[in-house]
A and B are shown apart, each in its own frame.
Chain A
Amino acid sequence: MEDLQNQDAAREPDRPAAGADVLPADAVEEILRRVPPRGLAACRRVCTSWRAVVDSNRLLRADLLPLSVAGILVGFAALNFTELFHAPSSSPISARLDFLPRPTAPAADDDEDAWTPVRDHCNGLLLLADHVANPATRRWDPLPPPRPQQDAPFLTRYDSRLVHDPTTSPHCYEVVRIPTSSRPSSVQYDNGAGAALEWPPSPFLLQVFSSTTGRWDERPFFRDGGEAAAGTFITKLELDDLSGTRRQSACWRGNLYVHCNTNFFIRISLSTNQYRVIQPPPGVDKRTSSSSLYLGKSAKGIYLASLTNQSSELRVWVLIDDESLDQTTSWVLRHHHNDIGSVRPQRYFCDRNPWKLEDVNFNEAPEDMRSHWAMLARCNSRYDDLTFDRARRRRKCHVTGLRILGFHPFQEVVFLSGEMVTGLAYHLDRSELRELGCLYPACYREIAGKNGDILTSFPYTPCWVRDVPANK
């Protein structure tokens, strides 16, 4: 009895609570335990006592969040594992994914590129053919096959995109399947392949897997209002793009931005079931090769980079997309360099130590294969060095064969590769190129022959939040 009376002497019993400022620390803690990291950062600034609750209970564990780049996940053609190009001094995380139940690949369905185990990366989670996995926590979830669509067109390919933000919703992720070619039965083609059709349609039916429900659902997405509400017109030929080029997507502020066929972009809002078509910046059109473009998230939001003119001219745009403003979305040129190949790269990005490729494909191969490749490589190497040097001298440039690997998510830095051999970081504000290290897989030339290519690349930010995926 006495205990009961003493327990909250702090509050007079007959005074109705005016605000949450009267709550005792225990009750505040109870509340703040349910607030995701981004909200906790705001709660720390609400008042001194709230900050004390957050700090003394270690509620905000920024060290677990995907706030640093541990490397770049690179999918090479003809290799079975996606490689991790490690930043120095990052935690020893492996792209081997040996915690997954075997076999992981190849996928049963052939609507996606079965060569590349890692199909998408979002804030530390990896999307594989039939799993969602976190290499940092070594946890995974099975991803069930999507439900067959009712009016399944026979020529349809999909790109699956992963959406996960542990700073706002640590307990869930979603996978969105976006058709990259399609024959919607509702659309009539009057005069063959030349007829244009409005794409995406509204409603745009997308299959969405939610980790909360554990199943796929078909959700209609509607084109949102505003003056530029129209879709884009493309022909059936353009739509049925079977080139297999992997276009990028990026998540920012809860929206998914996707690079679509014929180089326009859509912003998909999973919370409002709306989408918006974003036209490409001037100079980029449907004739631009999609592989010369890279859409990604960086310091100020969504960025687009393009490498043209024999991959020497770099342009970078920032997407102005503030929903609180006038609902318009437009690209602003952030950086333009006419000849990036002429920039002399400085040695090493940070710590003065090189980045290193994990080389899981070579290391996991059987012993006899390894020695065979190594022997071939010894024969080839002398010849290689000579031709590289000659090619560079002829073009009077320091780096050749550039391609975009991705954006640093928190600094205005573009990651590039030169001839698939050198990893490079280009600082936009200083126009400075730094060499990261060698990303060429061991004996790749011997393994892949002439088919050597980089198919996918994602800057990887490890996440140690253990809520999802659930299995281990």
Chain B
Amino acid sequence: MAAPESGDGNNGAARMVTLISSDNTRFEVEAAAASLSQTLQLTILDGGGGGGDGIPLPNVDSATLSKVLEYCIKHAPAAANGGAPNATAVDRAELERFDNEFVNIDQSVLYSLIMAAHNLEIEGLQSLVAKKVADMIKGKSPMEIRRTLGFPDPTPEEQAEMNAHMLEYGWAYE
């Protein structure tokens, strides 16, 4: 089973794998796309996910998984070219446009995506969503950050602690 083929699946007909979300929805994708996930790549290299078995992902619901796979399918060809040194500017611009659109989503979806990208170790997606959240933090006060990112209201103790650290790094608040 442990075929020494590359995870890119570029040996003729594309190899397909099945992923099973936490709510038991089955997704069939090319192994090349699924292999953007470091975690899945190991399993796929071991020959898992083929045929009827499928790879269960108990931590990722179907909505999130379909979003993750949308990203993987789009980025798989570029990744297969080894970081795409010969990609045209048009291709790169297209990927950039896709990425911008892709993270233009509801916050709860964004956090599910962060968790999924993190668990599945999809480097490009991790950095894409992290950058999105970092942009949301830009120029905001601690309270504004809490509100923007959907933190629950601070308890009095938390509030006191926030104030206690007010004086540190005074240059940042001038």
A contact set with B: CB distance below 8 Å: 1, 3-5, 7-8, 11, 13-14, 16-24, 26-27, 30-48, 51, 60, 62, 65, 67, 167-168, 299-301, 410
Contacts and interface: CB of A to CB of B under 8 A. Distances in A.
Given A33-B130, A41-B169, A11 B139 contact: no
Contacts of A4: 39, 56-59, 119
B11 interface: no
Contacts of B169: 41, 44, 60, 62
A178 B5 CA distance: 61
A38 B169 CA distance: 9
A3 B130 contact: no
B115 A67 contact: no
Contact of A30 (B126, B173, B174): B126
Contacts of B142: 42-43, 45-46
Interface SS of A by simple majority: loop
B131 A34 contact: yes
Interface stretch (B28-36, B85-93, B157-165): B157-165
Contacts of A21: 149-152
Nearest to B148: A20
A37 B172 contact: yes
A51 B130 contact: no
Given A3-B39, A23-B114, 5 more contacts: A4-B119, A8-B118, A11-B59, A34-B130, A47-B151
B23 A14 contact: yes
Contacts of B150: 18-21
B14 interface: no
Contacts of B57: 4
Interface residues of B, number: 50
Nearest to A169: B138
Nearest to A45: B142
B103 interface: no
Given A20-B151, A30-B130, A47-B158, A41 B172 contact: yes
A18 B108 contact: yes
B15 interface: no
Contact of A27 (B60, B115, B141): B115
B118 to A, nearest CB: 5
B111 interface: yes
B171 A35 contact: no
Nearest to A20: B149
B140 A42 contact: yes
Contacts of B133: 20, 31
Nearest to A297: B174
Given A13-B61, A20-B150, A26-B118, A45 B162 contact: yes
7 contacts: A27-B130, A31-B137, A35-B137, A47-B151, A62-B171, A65-B171, A168-B139
Contact of B168 (A11, A14, A37, A44): A44
Contact of A17 (B115, B168, B173): B115
Contact of B134 (A1, A26, A32, A51): A32
A24 B23 CA distance: 22
A46 B133 CA distance: 14
Nearest to B169: A41
Contacts of B66: none
Contact of B161 (A24, A48, A167): A48
Contact of B165 (A5, A35, A51, A65): A51
Nearest to A37: B172
Contacts of A16: 108, 112
A301 B152 CA distance: 35
B58 A5 contact: yes
B74 interface: no
Given A21-B151, A22-B111, A42-B141, A8 B59 contact: yes
B53 to A, nearest CB: 10
B22 A13 contact: yes
Given A4-B58, A62-B169, A46 B130 contact: no
B165 A44 contact: yes
